[in-house]
């Protein structure tokens, strides 16, 4: 059984956020990687660039298709997961853990209050799939 | 895809089998089809190394029978029907007068007055109407898609797998030949054909027997590591082998000479639909041609992406994907004739960034015999 951590919040575009103070760790969900299939490329923003909630943060590419990643938060990128550029398949293996995408210093931390809880997200994908 | 959305789609007789094993289903040209089961790359590699099982029952079948059946097939297709022996099949084109493709097809000669044509799922009604519209011959054109389920058993262990379920000596069937026999007690047309670049078979059986035969094939192939394979793997397998896909490499605005399929056009066989237009094109020379490319920069040139030569728009990608067997990013594209040569450097416009690629020899992959 796949677990969607309670400490994360989720978007309807299938990203997750784990907030620790004003730093948000962002990834894509198990459901997202499963829908994409074998992931072969991950394009991430540069450290220091700014991202905006709901706007494109980068993209993930599977054998079949390219898919945008939408930033769930607004702020400045402080870290990117370099390992994904050489091992994009980690996104299929550990999407809620080691295969996080970016860390963002949030400038509007209240934004994440609008996002979905683990339970709401699972209900949402249950209805969708 | 939701059950409700899927309810609108056409389904093969194996649909419940796919859904029961949690295949990922997609709308493929109006059909609810499995795109992957265990994972695209895993399925792809299983077909190259062992054996994979594909439900291709969505494909259409058209039967042409009667005293002038051969003459009708010869007139509506590009390849030479006179060269086909009974029990032999060939790849061919169904063209419009202007030379563009109605469809690409497999023609099987069942008897001197009986032909069996396998056509693309999304084109079956169009193909049937096209052939009927040109039937001024003493021949009957029969829409037979509902009579057949089609299962493809593909890969180096395909023969051993299928052999367990049939008394027909499969090793005696040559590549692109077929025979009518039985598979697990049900009548089956057994053809040594496929769309993967591997050895293998495609069997045509009664749809009511398809689920039983499918499961028996999975059991028979278990010792070889057989896996069901979806349309995703089917696409990467055919692309590595440079087999055309209707709607991508070929369509109504593309003729077989442009698509690098001159080998299926037999000008010397007599008149056929599209012959005049193709002859004229041959005399005047081609303006564009299908070629293969490998990405040199980071990225995947995908279907529909623009292709540049020295920064100037020159063509478009028809299919592009990572090639699991080759561990490269490959694709097919149309280019003006002057650039359609091995070693030509091109750029594929990937999300507005030109990324380097090089025209290479095709097929990208060829199995060792």
B287-360 falls under which CATH superfamily?
A: Aminomethyltransferase beta-barrel domains (2.40.30.110)
CB contact set of B350 (below 8 Å; sequence gap of 6+)? B299, B300, B301, B302, B305
Cβ contact B322–A35 (<8 Å): no
Domain B60-142 architecture: 2-Layer Sandwich (3.30)
CATH code of the region B3-56+148-240:
3.30.1360.120
Domains along chain A?
A: 16-107 (2.40.50.100)
Within 8 A of A37 by CB-CB distance, chain B residues are 24, 35-36, 39-40, 232
In chain B, which segments carry CATH 2.40.30.110?
A: 287-360
Q: Please list the rounded mean pLDDT of every run of 10 residues in chain B (369 residues).
A: 75 96 91 94 97 98 98 98 97 98 98 98 97 98 98 98 98 98 98 98 98 98 98 98 98 98 97 98 96 96 97 97 96 98 97 95 92
Tell me, what's the pLDDT at B147?
A: 97
Contact B89, B175 (CB under 8 A): no
pLDDT value for B8: 87
Q: What ipTM does the predicted assembly reach?
A: 0.76
Confidence of residue A17 (pLDDT cuts 50, 70, 90): very high
* Sheet-wide strand order for A75-80: A9-10, A15-20, A23-28, A102-106, A75-80, A50-51
Query: Of A38, A59, A128, which has the smallest distance from its Cβ to B41's Cβ?
Result: A38
pTM of the model: 0.92
Query: Is any Cβ of chain A less than 8 angstroms from the Cβ of B35?
Result: yes
B299 and A64 in contact by Cβ < 8 A?
A: no
Q: Which of A37, A38, A41 sits opposite B300 (nearest CB)?
A: A41
Q: Where in chain B is the domain with CATH 3.30.1360.120?
A: 3-56+148-240
pLDDT at residue B248 in the model: 97
Tell me which residue in B24, B41, B351 faces A63 most closely, judged by beta carbons: B41
Q: How many interchain CB pairs under 8 A, A with B?
A: 35
Residue A2: pLDDT band (50, 70, 90) is: confident
Give the H or E element holding residue B149: strand B149-154
Q: Which residues of A lie closer than 8 Å to B, measured between beta carbons?
A: 35, 37-38, 40-41, 59, 61-66, 128-129
**CB neighbour list of residue B52: distance below 8 Å, 6 or more residues apart:** B43, B46, B153, B154, B155, B196, B226, B227, B228, B229, B233
* Distance (Å) from the alpha carbon of B274 to chain A's nearest alpha carbon: 34
Q: What pLDDT does B1 receive?
A: 55
Instruction: Kindly report, as residue ranges, where domains of CATH 3.30.70.1400 are found in chain B.
Output: 60-142
Q: Do A38 and B24 touch (CB under 8 A)?
A: no
| pLDDT above 80 (res A1) | no
Q: Encode pLDDT of A23-79 as tens digits.
A: 999 999 999 999 899 999 999 999 999 999 999 999 999 998 889 999 999 999 999
CB contact under 8 Å between B321 and A128, yes or no, is no
CA angle B212, B214, B220 (to 5 degrees): 100
């Amino acid at each position: 059984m796949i677990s969607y951590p309670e400490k994360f919040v989720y978007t309807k575009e299938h990203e997750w956020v784990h907030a620790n103070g004003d730093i948000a760790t962002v990834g894509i969900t198990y459901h997202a990687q499963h829908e994409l299939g074998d992931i072969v490329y991950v394009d991430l923003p540069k450290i220091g660039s700014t991202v905006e909630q709901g706007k494109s943060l980068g993209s993930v590419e599977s054998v079949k298709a390219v898919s945008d990643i939408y930033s769930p938060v607004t702020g400045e990128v402080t870290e990117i997961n370099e390992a994904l550029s050489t091992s994009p398949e980690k996104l299929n293996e550990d999407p809620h853990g080691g295969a996080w995408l970016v860390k963002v210093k949030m400038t509007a931390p209240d934004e994440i209050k609008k996002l979905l809880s683990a339970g709401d997200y699972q209900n949402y994908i249950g209805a969708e799939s | 895809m939701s059950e409700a959305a899927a309810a609108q789609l056409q389904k093969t007789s194996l649909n419940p089998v796919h859904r029961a094993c949690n295949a990922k289903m997609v709308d493929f040209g109006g059909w609810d089809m499995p795109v992957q089961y265990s994972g695209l790359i895993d399925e792809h590699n299983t077909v190259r190394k062992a054996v994979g099982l594909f439900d291709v029952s969505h494909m259409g079948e058209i039967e042409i029978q009667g005293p002038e059946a051969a003459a009708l097939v010869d007139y509506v297709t590009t390849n030479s029907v006179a060269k086909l022996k009974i029990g032999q099949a060939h790849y061919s084109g169904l063209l419009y007068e202007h030379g563009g493709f109605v469809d690409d097809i497999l023609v099987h000669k069942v008897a001197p007055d009986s032909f069996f044509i396998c056509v693309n799922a999304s084109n079956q009604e169009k193909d049937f109407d096209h052939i009927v519209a040109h039937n001024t011959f003493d021949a009957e054109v029969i829409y037979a898609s509902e009579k057949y389920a089609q299962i493809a058993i593909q890969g180096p262990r395909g023969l051993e797998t299928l052999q367990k379920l049939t008394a027909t000596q499969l090793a005696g069937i040559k590549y692109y030949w077929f025979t009518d026999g039985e598979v697990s007690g049900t009548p089956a047309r057994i053809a040594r054909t496929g769309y993967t670049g591997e050895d293998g078979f495609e069997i045509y059986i009664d749809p009511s027997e398809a689920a039983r035969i499918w499961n028996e094939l999975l059991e028979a192939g278990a010792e070889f590591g057989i896996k069901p394979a979806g349309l995703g793997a089917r696409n990467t397998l055919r692309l590595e082998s440079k087999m055309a896909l209707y709607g991508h490499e070929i369509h109504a605005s593309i003729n077989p000479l442009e698509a690098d399929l001159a080998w299926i056009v037999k000008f010397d066989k007599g008149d056929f639909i599209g012959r005049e237009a193709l002859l004229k094109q041959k005399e005047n020379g081609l303006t564009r041609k299908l070629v293969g490319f490998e990405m040199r920069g980071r990225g995947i040139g995908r279907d529909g992406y623009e292709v540049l030569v020295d920064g100037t728009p020159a063509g478009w990608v028809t299919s592009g994907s990572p090639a699991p067997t080759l561990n490269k990013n490959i694709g097919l594209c149309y280019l003006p004739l002057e650039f359609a040569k091995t070693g030509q450097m091109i750029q594929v416009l990937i999300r507005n960034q030109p990324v380097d690629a090089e025209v290479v020899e095709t097929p990208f992959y060829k199995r060792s015999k």
